Chain A
Protein backbone atom coordinates (compact mmCIF):
# COMPACT_ATOMS: atom_id res chain seq x y z
CA UNK A 1 0.00 0.00 0.00
CA UNK A 2 2.75 2.39 0.91
CA UNK A 3 4.59 1.74 -2.37
CA UNK A 4 1.43 2.52 -4.26
CA UNK A 5 0.91 5.64 -2.26
CA UNK A 6 4.45 6.74 -3.01
CA UNK A 7 4.02 6.04 -6.70
CA UNK A 8 0.74 7.87 -6.75
CA UNK A 9 1.76 10.90 -4.85
CA UNK A 10 5.21 11.46 -6.35
CA UNK A 11 4.47 12.95 -9.80
CA UNK A 12 1.31 15.02 -9.50
CA UNK A 13 -1.06 16.24 -6.88
CA UNK A 14 -3.86 13.56 -6.85
CA UNK A 15 -3.93 11.44 -3.70
CA UNK A 16 -4.55 7.70 -4.09
CA UNK A 17 -7.27 6.33 -1.84
CA UNK A 18 -7.39 2.58 -1.38
CA UNK A 19 -11.04 1.45 -1.21
CA UNK A 20 -12.23 0.20 2.17
CA UNK A 21 -15.38 -0.58 4.09
CA UNK A 22 -17.19 2.40 2.65
CA UNK A 23 -17.80 0.10 -0.34
CA UNK A 24 -20.40 -1.70 1.74
CA UNK A 25 -22.24 1.28 3.13
CA UNK A 26 -25.16 2.52 1.12
CA UNK A 27 -27.48 5.40 1.69
CA UNK A 28 -31.16 4.68 1.98
CA UNK A 29 -33.15 5.34 -1.19
CA UNK A 30 -35.52 7.26 1.02
CA UNK A 31 -32.81 9.79 1.66
CA UNK A 32 -31.20 10.88 4.90
CA UNK A 33 -32.88 9.20 7.87
CA UNK A 34 -34.82 6.71 5.70
CA UNK A 35 -34.88 3.01 6.53
CA UNK A 36 -31.30 1.74 6.33
CA UNK A 37 -32.26 -1.55 4.68
CA UNK A 38 -34.01 0.25 1.82
CA UNK A 39 -30.82 0.62 -0.21
CA UNK A 40 -28.77 -0.92 -3.02
CA UNK A 41 -28.24 -4.36 -1.33
CA UNK A 42 -31.98 -4.82 -0.93
CA UNK A 43 -32.58 -3.77 -4.52
CA UNK A 44 -30.02 -6.29 -5.76
CA UNK A 45 -31.45 -8.96 -3.46
CA UNK A 46 -34.93 -8.36 -4.90
CA UNK A 47 -33.53 -8.56 -8.41
CA UNK A 48 -31.75 -11.81 -7.47
CA UNK A 49 -34.96 -13.30 -6.09
CA UNK A 50 -36.77 -12.31 -9.28
CA UNK A 51 -34.08 -13.83 -11.51
CA UNK A 52 -34.07 -17.04 -9.47
CA UNK A 53 -37.82 -17.37 -9.66
CA UNK A 54 -37.93 -16.66 -13.40
CA UNK A 55 -35.13 -19.11 -14.20
CA UNK A 56 -36.61 -21.74 -11.89
CA UNK A 57 -40.00 -21.32 -13.56
CA UNK A 58 -38.46 -21.59 -17.00
CA UNK A 59 -36.66 -24.76 -15.94
CA UNK A 60 -39.12 -26.56 -13.71
CA UNK A 61 -42.61 -25.21 -14.26
CA UNK A 62 -43.50 -27.92 -16.78
CA UNK A 63 -40.72 -30.47 -16.62
CA UNK A 64 -40.52 -33.01 -19.43
CA UNK A 65 -39.36 -36.57 -19.20
CA UNK A 66 -36.75 -35.78 -21.85
CA UNK A 67 -35.10 -32.51 -20.75
CA UNK A 68 -34.64 -29.75 -23.28
CA UNK A 69 -33.02 -26.30 -23.11
CA UNK A 70 -33.31 -24.50 -19.79
CA UNK A 71 -34.67 -27.57 -18.08
CA UNK A 72 -31.40 -29.36 -18.80
CA UNK A 73 -29.43 -26.60 -17.11
CA UNK A 74 -31.83 -26.51 -14.19
CA UNK A 75 -31.54 -30.27 -13.79
CA UNK A 76 -27.77 -29.97 -13.82
CA UNK A 77 -28.06 -27.52 -10.93
CA UNK A 78 -30.52 -29.72 -9.11
CA UNK A 79 -28.39 -32.83 -9.52
CA UNK A 80 -25.29 -30.94 -8.40
CA UNK A 81 -26.98 -29.86 -5.16
CA UNK A 82 -28.53 -33.28 -4.64
CA UNK A 83 -25.45 -35.39 -5.30
CA UNK A 84 -22.72 -33.09 -3.98
CA UNK A 85 -24.46 -31.34 -1.11
CA UNK A 86 -27.56 -33.17 0.08
CA UNK A 87 -26.89 -36.89 -0.35
CA UNK A 88 -23.43 -37.15 1.26
CA UNK A 89 -24.85 -35.96 4.58
CA UNK A 90 -28.54 -36.65 4.48
CA UNK A 91 -28.68 -39.96 2.62
CA UNK A 92 -32.27 -41.09 2.35
CA UNK A 93 -33.51 -37.80 3.84
CA UNK A 94 -31.85 -35.86 1.01
CA UNK A 95 -35.00 -35.52 -1.09
CA UNK A 96 -36.93 -34.12 1.85
CA UNK A 97 -34.43 -31.28 2.32
CA UNK A 98 -33.76 -30.62 -1.35
CA UNK A 99 -36.26 -27.74 -1.59
CA UNK A 100 -34.40 -25.95 1.20
CA UNK A 101 -30.85 -26.79 0.10
CA UNK A 102 -31.53 -26.10 -3.56
CA UNK A 103 -33.04 -22.70 -2.73
CA UNK A 104 -30.24 -21.97 -0.29
CA UNK A 105 -27.42 -22.77 -2.68
CA UNK A 106 -28.80 -20.78 -5.58
CA UNK A 107 -29.92 -17.90 -3.38
CA UNK A 108 -26.41 -17.55 -1.95
CA UNK A 109 -24.80 -18.04 -5.33
CA UNK A 110 -26.79 -15.36 -7.12
CA UNK A 111 -26.31 -12.96 -4.20
CA UNK A 112 -22.56 -13.61 -4.49
CA UNK A 113 -22.64 -13.26 -8.26
CA UNK A 114 -23.75 -9.64 -8.04
CA UNK A 115 -20.14 -8.92 -7.08
CA UNK A 116 -18.99 -9.42 -10.66
CA UNK A 117 -22.10 -8.40 -12.57
CA UNK A 118 -21.40 -5.01 -14.17
CA UNK A 119 -23.39 -2.08 -12.77
CA UNK A 120 -24.59 -4.17 -9.80
CA UNK A 121 -21.04 -4.79 -8.58
CA UNK A 122 -21.86 -5.57 -4.99
CA UNK A 123 -22.00 -9.05 -3.54
CA UNK A 124 -25.20 -8.85 -1.50
CA UNK A 125 -23.84 -11.52 0.83
CA UNK A 126 -21.02 -9.19 1.87
CA UNK A 127 -23.69 -7.42 3.90
CA UNK A 128 -23.76 -9.40 7.15
CA UNK A 129 -27.57 -9.34 7.35
CA UNK A 130 -27.99 -11.81 4.45
CA UNK A 131 -25.57 -14.54 5.57
CA UNK A 132 -26.71 -13.98 9.15
CA UNK A 133 -30.38 -14.61 8.49
CA UNK A 134 -29.59 -17.70 6.41
CA UNK A 135 -27.20 -19.07 9.02
CA UNK A 136 -29.83 -18.38 11.66
CA UNK A 137 -32.43 -20.38 9.74
CA UNK A 138 -30.01 -23.26 9.36
CA UNK A 139 -29.19 -23.05 13.06
CA UNK A 140 -32.86 -23.11 14.04
CA UNK A 141 -33.46 -26.11 11.76
CA UNK A 142 -30.38 -27.80 13.22
CA UNK A 143 -31.73 -27.38 16.76
CA UNK A 144 -35.29 -28.33 15.77
CA UNK A 145 -34.43 -31.54 13.93
CA UNK A 146 -31.70 -32.42 16.44
CA UNK A 147 -34.05 -32.23 19.40
CA UNK A 148 -36.88 -33.82 17.44
CA UNK A 149 -34.92 -36.92 16.38
CA UNK A 150 -32.53 -37.35 19.31
CA UNK A 151 -34.38 -35.70 22.17
CA UNK A 152 -32.96 -32.74 24.06
CA UNK A 153 -30.55 -34.71 26.25
CA UNK A 154 -29.48 -37.10 23.54
CA UNK A 155 -28.87 -34.29 21.09
CA UNK A 156 -26.80 -32.35 23.63
CA UNK A 157 -24.81 -35.45 24.53
CA UNK A 158 -24.24 -36.54 20.91
CA UNK A 159 -23.09 -33.06 19.97
CA UNK A 160 -20.84 -32.31 22.93
CA UNK A 161 -19.49 -35.70 24.00
CA UNK A 162 -17.48 -37.13 21.10
CA UNK A 163 -17.09 -40.88 21.71
CA UNK A 164 -13.80 -42.71 22.11
CA UNK A 165 -11.81 -40.21 24.18
CA UNK A 166 -10.12 -40.82 27.55
CA UNK A 167 -12.43 -39.75 30.36
CA UNK A 168 -10.38 -36.80 31.63
CA UNK A 169 -10.29 -35.24 28.14
CA UNK A 170 -14.02 -34.61 28.33
CA UNK A 171 -13.44 -31.95 30.97
CA UNK A 172 -11.95 -29.87 28.18
CA UNK A 173 -13.56 -31.39 25.09
CA UNK A 174 -17.20 -31.05 26.13
CA UNK A 175 -17.17 -27.28 26.84
CA UNK A 176 -15.19 -26.70 23.66
CA UNK A 177 -17.58 -28.80 21.61
CA UNK A 178 -20.55 -27.07 23.19
CA UNK A 179 -19.08 -23.67 22.44
CA UNK A 180 -18.19 -24.52 18.86
CA UNK A 181 -21.42 -26.34 18.05
CA UNK A 182 -24.09 -24.32 19.79
CA UNK A 183 -22.58 -20.86 20.20
CA UNK A 184 -20.01 -20.22 17.49
CA UNK A 185 -21.41 -22.35 14.71
CA UNK A 186 -24.04 -19.97 13.29
CA UNK A 187 -21.60 -17.12 13.67
CA UNK A 188 -18.73 -18.83 11.80
CA UNK A 189 -21.20 -20.13 9.23
CA UNK A 190 -22.32 -16.60 8.39
CA UNK A 191 -18.96 -14.87 8.80
CA UNK A 192 -17.19 -17.34 6.52
CA UNK A 193 -19.42 -16.30 3.65
CA UNK A 194 -19.59 -12.62 4.48
CA UNK A 195 -15.82 -12.34 5.04
CA UNK A 196 -14.98 -14.05 1.78
CA UNK A 197 -17.32 -11.86 -0.19
CA UNK A 198 -16.19 -8.70 1.59
CA UNK A 199 -12.51 -9.41 1.11
CA UNK A 200 -12.94 -10.44 -2.50
CA UNK A 201 -14.92 -7.34 -3.26
CA UNK A 202 -12.35 -5.05 -1.60
CA UNK A 203 -9.59 -6.76 -3.56
CA UNK A 204 -11.44 -6.34 -6.86
CA UNK A 205 -12.20 -2.74 -6.04
CA UNK A 206 -8.59 -2.13 -5.14
CA UNK A 207 -7.30 -3.43 -8.47
CA UNK A 208 -9.84 -1.49 -10.49
CA UNK A 209 -9.13 1.67 -8.50
CA UNK A 210 -5.41 1.16 -9.12
CA UNK A 211 -6.09 0.78 -12.84
CA UNK A 212 -8.36 3.83 -12.95
CA UNK A 213 -6.06 5.99 -10.85
CA UNK A 214 -2.84 5.24 -12.73
CA UNK A 215 -4.26 5.14 -16.22
CA UNK A 216 -6.90 7.88 -16.06
CA UNK A 217 -6.51 10.15 -13.09
CA UNK A 218 -2.73 10.22 -12.80
CA UNK A 219 -1.27 8.97 -16.05
CA UNK A 220 2.52 9.04 -15.67
CA UNK A 221 5.29 6.97 -17.32
CA UNK A 222 6.15 5.46 -13.97
CA UNK A 223 2.57 4.82 -12.92
CA UNK A 224 1.25 3.46 -16.21
CA UNK A 225 2.73 -0.07 -15.79
CA UNK A 226 1.13 -0.23 -12.35
CA UNK A 227 -2.15 0.76 -13.94
CA UNK A 228 -1.77 -1.96 -16.59
CA UNK A 229 -1.04 -4.44 -13.83
CA UNK A 230 -4.20 -3.21 -12.17
CA UNK A 231 -6.23 -3.97 -15.32
CA UNK A 232 -4.72 -7.42 -15.67
CA UNK A 233 -5.24 -8.22 -12.00
CA UNK A 234 -8.82 -6.95 -12.13
CA UNK A 235 -9.55 -9.40 -14.95
CA UNK A 236 -7.72 -12.26 -13.26
CA UNK A 237 -9.36 -11.58 -9.92
CA UNK A 238 -12.78 -11.27 -11.49
CA UNK A 239 -12.37 -14.81 -12.77
CA UNK A 240 -11.00 -15.92 -9.40
CA UNK A 241 -13.83 -14.13 -7.63
CA UNK A 242 -16.39 -15.98 -9.74
CA UNK A 243 -14.82 -19.22 -8.63
CA UNK A 244 -14.85 -18.08 -4.98
CA UNK A 245 -18.48 -16.99 -5.29
CA UNK A 246 -19.46 -20.44 -6.47
CA UNK A 247 -17.24 -22.12 -3.91
CA UNK A 248 -18.62 -20.10 -0.99
CA UNK A 249 -22.19 -20.77 -2.04
CA UNK A 250 -21.27 -24.45 -2.21
CA UNK A 251 -19.55 -24.35 1.18
CA UNK A 252 -22.48 -22.52 2.77
CA UNK A 253 -25.04 -25.05 1.51
CA UNK A 254 -22.61 -27.91 2.19
CA UNK A 255 -22.26 -26.88 5.84
CA UNK A 256 -26.02 -26.43 6.14
CA UNK A 257 -26.46 -29.98 4.83
CA UNK A 258 -23.77 -31.25 7.21
CA UNK A 259 -25.43 -29.62 10.23
CA UNK A 260 -28.81 -31.04 9.26
CA UNK A 261 -27.17 -34.42 8.77
CA UNK A 262 -25.71 -34.23 12.28
CA UNK A 263 -29.12 -33.36 13.64
CA UNK A 264 -30.91 -36.18 11.80
CA UNK A 265 -28.31 -38.94 11.94
CA UNK A 266 -26.31 -38.86 15.18
CA UNK A 267 -22.88 -40.46 14.96
CA UNK A 268 -22.80 -43.73 16.86
Chain B
Protein backbone atom coordinates (compact mmCIF):
# COMPACT_ATOMS: atom_id res chain seq x y z
CA UNK B 1 0.00 0.00 0.00
CA UNK B 2 1.26 3.44 -0.89
CA UNK B 3 1.30 5.77 2.09
CA UNK B 4 1.68 9.54 2.16
CA UNK B 5 5.08 9.21 3.77
CA UNK B 6 6.37 6.94 1.07
CA UNK B 7 4.99 9.33 -1.57
CA UNK B 8 6.80 12.26 -0.04
CA UNK B 9 10.14 10.65 0.47
CA UNK B 10 12.57 8.39 -1.22
CA UNK B 11 13.67 6.09 1.57
CA UNK B 12 17.09 4.57 1.67
CA UNK B 13 18.42 1.49 3.27
CA UNK B 14 21.57 2.72 5.00
CA UNK B 15 21.38 4.79 8.21
CA UNK B 16 21.27 8.47 7.50
CA UNK B 17 22.89 11.04 9.79
CA UNK B 18 21.59 14.54 8.99
CA UNK B 19 24.61 16.11 10.73
CA UNK B 20 27.11 14.62 8.31
CA UNK B 21 27.45 16.60 5.09
CA UNK B 22 27.77 14.75 1.82
CA UNK B 23 31.19 15.66 0.45
CA UNK B 24 30.02 16.06 -3.16
CA UNK B 25 27.15 18.18 -2.03
CA UNK B 26 29.50 20.25 0.13
CA UNK B 27 31.60 21.09 -2.92
CA UNK B 28 28.51 21.71 -5.01
CA UNK B 29 27.06 24.02 -2.34
CA UNK B 30 30.35 25.90 -2.15
CA UNK B 31 30.44 26.38 -5.91
CA UNK B 32 26.79 27.47 -5.94
CA UNK B 33 27.45 30.09 -3.29
CA UNK B 34 30.63 31.30 -4.97
CA UNK B 35 28.68 31.78 -8.20
CA UNK B 36 26.17 33.91 -6.30
CA UNK B 37 29.01 35.73 -4.55
CA UNK B 38 30.73 36.54 -7.83
CA UNK B 39 27.66 37.60 -9.79
CA UNK B 40 25.46 39.13 -7.11
CA UNK B 41 28.15 40.12 -4.64
CA UNK B 42 31.11 41.23 -6.70
CA UNK B 43 29.35 42.36 -9.87
CA UNK B 44 25.95 43.74 -8.85
CA UNK B 45 26.22 44.82 -5.22
CA UNK B 46 28.86 47.51 -5.92
CA UNK B 47 26.48 49.04 -8.47
CA UNK B 48 23.70 49.50 -5.96
CA UNK B 49 26.24 50.64 -3.40
CA UNK B 50 27.41 53.29 -5.79
CA UNK B 51 23.86 54.32 -6.64
CA UNK B 52 22.94 54.63 -2.97
CA UNK B 53 26.09 56.61 -2.33
CA UNK B 54 25.36 58.87 -5.27
CA UNK B 55 21.82 59.38 -4.02
CA UNK B 56 22.94 60.15 -0.49
CA UNK B 57 25.54 62.41 -2.02
CA UNK B 58 22.91 64.09 -4.17
CA UNK B 59 20.75 64.79 -1.13
CA UNK B 60 23.11 65.34 1.79
CA UNK B 61 26.01 66.29 -0.39
CA UNK B 62 23.80 68.73 -2.29
CA UNK B 63 23.04 70.57 0.91
CA UNK B 64 26.65 70.38 1.94
CA UNK B 65 27.76 71.62 -1.44
CA UNK B 66 25.28 74.49 -1.29
CA UNK B 67 26.66 75.44 2.11
CA UNK B 68 30.18 75.14 0.81
CA UNK B 69 29.31 77.21 -2.22
CA UNK B 70 27.75 79.88 0.00
CA UNK B 71 30.77 79.92 2.25
CA UNK B 72 32.96 80.12 -0.83
CA UNK B 73 30.88 82.99 -2.18
CA UNK B 74 31.15 84.79 1.15
CA UNK B 75 34.86 84.24 1.17
CA UNK B 76 35.20 85.50 -2.38
CA UNK B 77 33.05 88.52 -1.60
CA UNK B 78 35.16 89.36 1.41
CA UNK B 79 38.25 88.89 -0.71
CA UNK B 80 36.88 91.15 -3.42
CA UNK B 81 35.97 93.78 -0.88
CA UNK B 82 39.39 93.62 0.56
CA UNK B 83 40.95 93.85 -2.86
CA UNK B 84 38.65 96.75 -3.70
CA UNK B 85 39.59 98.58 -0.54
CA UNK B 86 43.20 97.88 -1.27
CA UNK B 87 42.79 99.14 -4.82
CA UNK B 88 41.10 102.30 -3.56
CA UNK B 89 43.84 102.80 -1.08
CA UNK B 90 46.41 102.24 -3.76
CA UNK B 91 44.65 104.66 -6.08
CA UNK B 92 44.52 107.28 -3.36
CA UNK B 93 48.17 106.74 -2.69
CA UNK B 94 48.99 107.02 -6.38
CA UNK B 95 46.91 110.16 -6.67
CA UNK B 96 48.66 111.63 -3.68
CA UNK B 97 52.00 110.69 -5.12
CA UNK B 98 51.08 112.16 -8.48
CA UNK B 99 49.93 115.32 -6.81
CA UNK B 100 53.17 115.56 -4.92
CA UNK B 101 55.14 114.84 -8.01
CA UNK B 102 53.12 117.39 -9.94
CA UNK B 103 53.66 119.97 -7.24
CA UNK B 104 57.33 119.20 -7.22
CA UNK B 105 57.56 119.42 -10.98
CA UNK B 106 55.66 122.69 -10.91
CA UNK B 107 57.95 124.04 -8.28
CA UNK B 108 60.98 122.89 -10.20
CA UNK B 109 59.67 124.39 -13.42
CA UNK B 110 58.83 127.59 -11.70
CA UNK B 111 62.25 127.77 -10.22
CA UNK B 112 63.83 126.99 -13.54
CA UNK B 113 61.67 129.60 -15.22
CA UNK B 114 62.54 132.11 -12.59
CA UNK B 115 66.20 131.29 -12.94
CA UNK B 116 65.90 131.60 -16.70
CA UNK B 117 64.07 134.86 -16.33
CA UNK B 118 66.69 136.15 -13.96
CA UNK B 119 69.36 135.04 -16.32
CA UNK B 120 67.62 136.76 -19.23
CA UNK B 121 67.10 139.88 -17.21
CA UNK B 122 70.73 139.91 -16.17
CA UNK B 123 71.81 139.32 -19.72
CA UNK B 124 69.52 142.13 -20.81
CA UNK B 125 70.91 144.36 -18.10
CA UNK B 126 74.44 143.56 -19.12
CA UNK B 127 73.54 144.22 -22.73
CA UNK B 128 71.90 147.45 -21.81
CA UNK B 129 74.88 148.42 -19.73
CA UNK B 130 77.20 147.58 -22.55
CA UNK B 131 75.04 149.50 -25.00
CA UNK B 132 74.90 152.35 -22.61
CA UNK B 133 78.68 152.28 -22.22
CA UNK B 134 79.11 152.15 -25.92
CA UNK B 135 76.58 154.91 -26.49
CA UNK B 136 78.23 156.88 -23.77
CA UNK B 137 81.69 156.56 -25.26
CA UNK B 138 80.32 157.39 -28.71
CA UNK B 139 78.43 160.27 -27.27
CA UNK B 140 81.49 161.36 -25.40
CA UNK B 141 83.48 161.51 -28.63
CA UNK B 142 80.64 163.12 -30.51
CA UNK B 143 79.85 165.60 -27.82
CA UNK B 144 83.54 166.39 -27.48
CA UNK B 145 83.88 167.01 -31.15
CA UNK B 146 80.67 168.99 -31.27
CA UNK B 147 81.56 171.02 -28.21
CA UNK B 148 85.07 171.75 -29.50
CA UNK B 149 83.56 172.69 -32.83
CA UNK B 150 81.08 174.81 -31.06
CA UNK B 151 83.61 176.26 -28.66
CA UNK B 152 86.15 176.98 -31.42
CA UNK B 153 83.46 178.64 -33.39
CA UNK B 154 82.38 180.64 -30.41
CA UNK B 155 85.89 181.46 -29.17
CA UNK B 156 87.19 181.71 -32.71
CA UNK B 157 90.30 179.95 -32.03
CA UNK B 158 91.23 176.41 -32.54
CA UNK B 159 92.52 174.54 -29.69
CA UNK B 160 95.52 172.90 -31.21
CA UNK B 161 96.70 171.21 -28.25
CA UNK B 162 94.64 168.14 -28.43
CA UNK B 163 95.60 166.83 -25.03
CA UNK B 164 94.39 169.87 -23.33
CA UNK B 165 91.31 169.87 -25.45
CA UNK B 166 90.53 166.33 -24.35
CA UNK B 167 91.12 167.06 -20.72
CA UNK B 168 88.75 169.93 -20.87
CA UNK B 169 86.11 167.81 -22.56
CA UNK B 170 86.56 164.99 -20.06
CA UNK B 171 86.31 167.29 -17.15
CA UNK B 172 83.22 168.73 -18.57
CA UNK B 173 81.67 165.38 -19.23
CA UNK B 174 82.54 164.06 -15.79
CA UNK B 175 80.86 166.97 -14.28
CA UNK B 176 77.95 166.38 -16.51
CA UNK B 177 77.83 162.71 -15.64
CA UNK B 178 78.06 163.20 -11.91
CA UNK B 179 75.33 165.73 -12.01
CA UNK B 180 73.41 163.30 -14.21
CA UNK B 181 73.82 160.34 -11.87
CA UNK B 182 72.92 162.46 -8.96
CA UNK B 183 69.81 163.44 -10.81
CA UNK B 184 69.05 159.79 -11.60
CA UNK B 185 69.55 158.71 -8.03
- B184 contacts across to A, CB distance below 8 A: none
Of the candidates A25, A102, A133, the one whose C-beta lies within 8 Å of that of B41 is A102
Identity of the chain B residue whose Cβ is nearest the Cβ of A46 in the assembled complex: B32
- B18 contacts across to A, CB distance below 8 A: 21, 24, 126, 128, 194, 198
- B163 contacts across to A, CB distance below 8 A: none
Instruction: Tell me the count of chain B residues lying within 8 A, CB to CB, of chain A.
Output: 45
In the bound complex, CA of A62 to CA of B43 (Å): 12
Given A38-B24, A49-B36, are A99 and B41 neighbors across the interface (CB < 8 Å)?
Answer: yes
Within 8 A of A (CB), among B38-52: 39-42, 44-52
B5 within 8 A of A: yes
Contact with B along A7-34 (1 / 0, CB 8 A): 0000000111111111111110000000
Interchain nearest-CB distance for B15 vs A (Å): 9
Identity of the chain B residue whose Cβ is nearest the Cβ of A198 in the assembled complex: B18
Contact with A along B19-58 (1 / 0, CB 8 A): 1111111111110110111011110111111111011001
Interface residues, chain B, with chain A CB atoms under 8 Å away: 1, 3-6, 8-12, 16, 18-30, 32-33, 35-37, 39-42, 44-52, 54-55, 58
Interface residues, chain A, with chain B CB atoms under 8 Å away: 14-27, 35-38, 41-42, 45-46, 48-49, 52-53, 56-57, 59-65, 74-75, 78-79, 95, 98-100, 102-104, 106-107, 126-130, 132-134, 137, 191, 194, 198, 205, 208-209, 212-213, 217
19 contacts between A and B (CB under 8 A): A17-B3, A17-B4, A25-B12, A26-B10, A37-B23, A45-B32, A60-B48, A64-B51, A65-B51, A99-B42, A102-B41, A107-B32, A107-B33, A130-B25, A133-B27, A191-B19, A194-B18, A212-B4, A213-B4
